[in-house]
């Protein structure tokens, strides 16, 4: 009987391997394991065997049964997968790997650079870690001057230089002004310095690292009309044709006269709304370069004049989008759900 069993096993395994649909597979299953199936019939014969044969044949029956049932199950899943594979629509467009994009601040920097380059400005970068001299002293802000309090500063734990003072994380891009004068030596200068700045503030509207863009123009006969014309041009290019700017008197140590520059609100077109209150949004500081700053850069203030401005990249970009990001720190938290929106 063990021979018969082995023959049945082999034949059944061969038959299973040839089948390509479930209906046939079920038929075969019944043909083997059904009420009068081939295997069932063999088990019926067990009774007729002698007591000495029974245990061994019984074990064999169990083994063959297990093996065949596993083969049926396996083949069922082979047929299923084959069917699924058959249904793949090879003409459907694929889903490619998702690609990233530039961070919003990088996008803004690229756009700002391009606008100023069109009117002859050159993009410069100056050190993020700088001397007190370039960050403050050369900008007409001596060590004990109270105006320095507006520029809370990270100091680096390094020895001071007798001439240049302490080492600081540059708190504004204005520290590139005198460096640019030293690089160019003789005006004209038309620089746009865009860089990271650092101040120890950490709340919903401040991050300790942020970006500014700083313009510096120095030549003979430069006056406030050039400053105003440049801002008008930038505002229209960056924010849109209908936007207007205004200058508000202010005070900075490194400019005289100094102004805060405002732009009409993009949401209410200057009429006043919840976002802006009185129709105007503050862009940032500007003014005519102070003669002491020109002198610090070895430029004769009796021959040359200039204007400068320094505005925050993050702030300016949000004003363009009419965005009020509840927490500015989101910009630098690397949360893909936030970044993907821009």
Q: Which member of 214, 227, 253, 294 binds ligand DAH (CB under 6 A)?
A: 214
Residue placing its CB nearer to ligand DAH in the complex, 12 or 230: 230
Could you say whether residue 305 binds ligand DAH (CB under 6 A)?
no
Size of the residue set binding ligand DAH (CB under 6 A): 13
What whole-number distance in Å separates Cα of residue 48 and Cα of residue 138?
113
> What x/- string results for residues 248 through 267 when contact with ligand DAH is judged by CB under 6 A?
----x-xx------------
Could you say whether residue 286 binds ligand DAH (CB under 6 A)?
yes
> Which window, 2-10, 48-56, 274-282, 306-314, contacts ligand DAH (CB under 6 A)?
306-314
Could you say whether residue 172 binds ligand DAH (CB under 6 A)?
yes
What whole-number distance in Å separates Cα of residue 80 and Cα of residue 160?
76
Number of neighbours of residue 153 by Cβ within 10 angstroms: 19
Q: Tell me if 309 sits within 8 A of 284, measured CB to CB.
A: yes
Could you say whether residue 170 binds ligand DAH (CB under 6 A)?
no
Peptide bond into 257 cis (omega under 30): yes
What whole-number distance in Å separates Cα of residue 166 and Cα of residue 101?
39
What whole-number distance in Å separates Cα of residue 315 and Cα of residue 70?
68
- DSSP code at position 335: -
Q: What angle do CA 150, 289, 307 make, to 5 degrees?
A: 110
> Which window, 52-60, 78-86, 123-131, 308-316, contacts ligand DAH (CB under 6 A)?
308-316
Q: Which member of 32, 195, 308, 319 binds ligand DAH (CB under 6 A)?
A: 308
Token look-up 């938290």 returns 333
The distance of closest approach from Cβ of residue 173 to ligand DAH in the complex, given in angstroms and rounded to an integer, is: 7
Binding residues vs ligand DAH (CB under 6 A): 172, 174, 214, 252, 254-255, 284-287, 308-310
């Amino acid at each position: 009987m063990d021979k018969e069993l082995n023959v049945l096993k082999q034949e059944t395994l061969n038959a299973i391997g040839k089948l390509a649909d479930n209906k046939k597979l079920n038929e075969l299953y019944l043909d083997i394991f059904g009420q009068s199936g081939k295997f069932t019939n063999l088990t019926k014969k067990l009774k007729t065997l002698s007591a000495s044969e029974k245990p061994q044949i019984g074990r064999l029956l169990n083994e063959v049964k297990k093996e065949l049932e596993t083969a049926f199950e396996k083949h069922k899943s082979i047929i299923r997968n084959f069917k699924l594979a058959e249904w793949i629509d090879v003409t459907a467009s694929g889903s490619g790997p998702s690609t990233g994009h530039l961070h919003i601040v990088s996008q803004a920097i690229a756009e700002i650079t391009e606008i100023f380059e069109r009117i002859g400005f050159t993009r410069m970068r100056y050190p993020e870690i700088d001397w007190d001299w370039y960050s403050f002293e050369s900008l007409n802000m001596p060590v004990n001057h109270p105006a320095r309090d507006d520029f809370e500063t990270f100091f680096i734990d390094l020895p001071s230089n007798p001439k240049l003072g302490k080492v600081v994380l540059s708190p504004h891009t204005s520290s590139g002004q005198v460096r640019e004068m030293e690089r160019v030596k003789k005006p004209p200068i038309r620089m746009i310095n865009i860089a990271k700045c650092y101040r120890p503030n950490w709340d919903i509207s401040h991050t300790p690292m942020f970006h500014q863009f700083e313009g510096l123009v120095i030549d003979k006969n430069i006056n406030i009309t050039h400053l105003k014309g440049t801002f008008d041009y930038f505002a229209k290019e960056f924010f849109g044709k209908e936007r207007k700017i205004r200058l508000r008197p202010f005070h900075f140590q490194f400019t005289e006269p100094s102004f805060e520059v405002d732009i009409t609100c993009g949401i209410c077109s200057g009429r006043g709304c919840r976002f802006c209150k009185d129709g105007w949004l503050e862009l940032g500081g500007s003014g005519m370069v102070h003669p002491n700053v020109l002198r610090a850069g070895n430029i004769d203030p009796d021959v040359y004049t200039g204007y400068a401005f320094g505005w925050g990249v993050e702030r300016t970009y949000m004003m363009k989008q009419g965005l009020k990001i509840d927490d500015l720190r989101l910009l630098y938290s690397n949360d893909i759900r936030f970044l993907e929106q821009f």
